Structure 1
């Protein structure tokens, strides 16, 4: 398991309720594609309308010769028997051959206990770059064929959480890339899941699913002035004025694939937080930068000054974790850190800024 990073310390403080402020802006970052397979989350008899089903897919048509991918998956087996869940790649370009390269992943099967522990471990290993290196079952996918990246047997009553990163490279031919990546499931443990090529099953349940041409949000707070206290909410379902938040970028409108549902929690994505700080004094001031859940229990991982830490289980509204005690020089400076949300967490997560 690549989730050995220590957790930040949980602190309970009295967080004021009248200091909320909106983020200034948010834009997509890393162009690695993100595919989120979390809907349907619970796989039961109502979902398995056939023995074999496609859970979700990412449809790619591009003139690029190499595309980087990340897949976040979160599925609970409630079929009263083990099932198979796999990832396949179908190559529609008859004259091309594809290679599945640079495959790394983390997967967990949790039959009981704290689901957020699985999500936090995935977040730690992804943001730290310590996903496990593996080889795809089928390294090369010829034109018109379906290749298998990997398939897993998921025990009954087990949560199967996973993150994969890999590259699809055109290794032969000159046509545009034209392929589909699928998460597929089968009740038959002996089935060849390469043969599951149907459209994803329709689902209106309130869990994220989608495929986006980016996997990072770069969110910037308003200018923080030393001596004040501010709470900037990230991954909020709505803005303070009930409108759409500026960081709501993982939405159906920005997905490449019809049938997507919004990924408010930005599961599987990296969130880069930028805090511009104004120090109008002539000496350094210490600014405490904390995270504080505002919707429900939260856990995750953060990269702080090049080091990765777990964000421990935090309860709303007065649990916090200190990200950093930043020495703000006179004038304007910029503080940056990154975080990932653990699966099963509740949002939003606020950035709580104070001056010592």
Structure 2
């Protein structure tokens, strides 16, 4: 059975037909006909809705994000790019709106709109009051709380006696059956956990269930519109709830939490859920909460090695707007070289917003008329998921495999490409709503014949199952609204050397991939068609060699702690030190450090060498923090001693304070202790 992804994401917004005071207003960019709204809260059945863009006001009407509202209302939404139309279905009721039309339809009947559906900043806006009331809800502006409240009709339940499978294992619900609440399917959470693959343990709590799954900690919280993954809240439209003594979960949160996907068979009403296998090969570094020293940029960096890199990450969002044709070239590397062989790396990162599963491929076309070429040493890795937590489910597994060298070899059907021919190197299915990440290394060499190497490598996509090797069009236009990197550069590895760190001096820190002093993957440095490139300051797909000279003039054995911290946002990645690979856990900017190594310095001169790769969804730059452990401990002890002295001096100056303090401690002691004191 062909597996299909049924979870949909629609990046659009909708308008609310409610007037709000200007106290919330923040001016939109100059020339815009709307005003951005700061601090506005909207609730659906008393649950706050989390938006990915701020609400706006237009003609005294409030506009809010469509996807979040429709998900909160349990409505299924479809976008028709060709006709610029929106349709939504909830409880068998269907509404339709067309962009720039002030007439909408409910079950085929026309209804006049105060504000027509429109496009703003690449977003779709429609009147919320109409949508809410069309689905039987009540929309109210609460003047006291300054909130918009949407109240939907009472919940209705129905049961369906049809099987659910997890990783092809039929779930045993016992006397329980799967339920449908307002069109959304719920199943017992414990049944899913008992059938998930990998190392998984869970514990029932009063407010939900705590799960340890491989290296990930997950907390399912009852009656909340979020799940906590490694301390971060992942928003969900439909909370878990207790149904007849059983905690049930909506099936549609599985892609967001576990990184799996689900398939519904309309004929048999069977549901098939697939949860990914264990993803990581190496352990995570330990992190601690600490505010570390503000880092400075590395002074300079340079390319290392000769493996040229091609980045295919724009357009990142694959939809009918960014891909106007059924068969397209995403990006290409046009090679002409007098060398006998050329080393390559191809890195891709794309998110499908298409209506059905598409196919992405890497192809190579031999443009020479006088020689044959051969692809050798072809190896790499790929991941895909519908999970919104792409750092963990795509980015980290990629860098884990690549940095450790534990990647799969690829056997091409036709590794030898004759003059004028094109061969498919590797292909991937990308279901709707999935993020696909891949990275492959290979070498192209002359097999026979005369003349220089002349060939073209492409990443291509087909919406209709066409032969990928036949796609030879020019690359699609850059998506300027989401400026993700695209280009070709001469090397897939960078290197920098930090200024020497002297043992015993104060804490110091430097930041790499800062987009400034080490921005080598710029448009100017690109190879090929530079006008169609976008820079890669985050160095995604590349590894970064960092050398740290250590100077020890103390004559004693000292320990230098080398740690990493986030600077620009949530960070994940991997690091290799002394031949060992470690994963960098989720780091919050400037407040968490993960220790890589405690380097024992016994000689006057030493060197620490790191190789770092950033996970594909990470925020940058990354800070490298250096501190002498013994000096840090002494500072902590001195600070504590000073505090103790100050406390003692305060008590001497005010004897009554000491007695008062003791009285407070006594009052907080257990009853039997208080009696003994008295």
Cα deviation per residue 1:107-166 (whole Å; 9 max; x = unaligned)? Answer: 111012410011011001111111111212321111111111011221111111111111
Q: How far is the alpha carbon of 1:100 from its aligned partner? A: 1.1
Higher RCO, 1 or 2 (CA under 8 Å, sep at least 6)?
1
- Partner residue of 2:347 out of 58, 72, 75: 72
- Partner residue of 1:97 out of 353, 359, 372: 372
Task: Trace 1:1-356 onto structure 2 (pairs within 5 A).
Answer: 3-17=280-294, 20-117=295-392, 118-189=394-465, 191-203=466-478, 204=480, 205-227=482-504, 228-237=506-515, 244-245=516-517, 247-258=518-529, 259-356=532-629
Greater shift after overlay, 194-203 or 82-91?
Answer: 194-203
Q: How far is the alpha carbon of 1:223 from its aligned partner? A: 1.9
Cα deviation per residue 1:233-281 (whole Å; 9 max; x = unaligned)? Answer: 10113xxxxxx31x11111111112222111110000101111122221
Cα deviation per residue 1:189-235 (whole Å; 9 max; x = unaligned)? Answer: 2x001111111112133111111111111011112122221110101
Q: How far is the alpha carbon of 1:347 from its aligned partner? A: 0.1
Greater shift after overlay, 344-353 or 311-320?
Answer: 311-320
When you count strand as a share of all residues, which structure comes out higher? 1
Q: Secondary structure at the match of 2:412?
A: coil
Say whether the 8 Å CA contact 1:137–1:150 is kept in structure 2.
no
Unaligned 5+ runs, structure 1 = 238-243
- After TM superposition, the score normalised by the length of structure 2 is 0.50
What is the CA RMSD across the aligned residues, in angstroms?
A: 1.3
Q: Which residue of 2 aligns with 1:241?
A: none
- After TM superposition, the score normalised by the length of structure 1 is 0.94
Q: How far is the alpha carbon of 1:2 from its aligned partner? A: 7.1
Say whether the 8 Å CA contact 1:2–1:130 is kept in structure 2.
no
Bigger radius of gyration: 2
Cα deviation per residue 1:48-80 (whole Å; 9 max; x = unaligned)? Answer: 111111111111111111111111110001001
Q: How far is the alpha carbon of 1:284 from its aligned partner? A: 2.3
Aligned partners of 2:302, 2:293: CA distance in 1, in Å?
Answer: 29
Unaligned 5+ runs, structure 2 = 1-277, 630-678
Greater shift after overlay, 283-292 or 322-331?
Answer: 322-331
When you count helix as a share of all residues, which structure comes out higher? 2
Aligned partners of 1:281, 1:318: CA distance in 2, in Å?
Answer: 31
Q: Secondary structure at the match of 1:214?
A: coil
Aligned partners of 1:276, 1:124: CA distance in 2, in Å?
Answer: 26
Aligned partners of 1:34, 1:176: CA distance in 2, in Å?
Answer: 20
Aligned partners of 1:327, 1:192: CA distance in 2, in Å?
Answer: 57
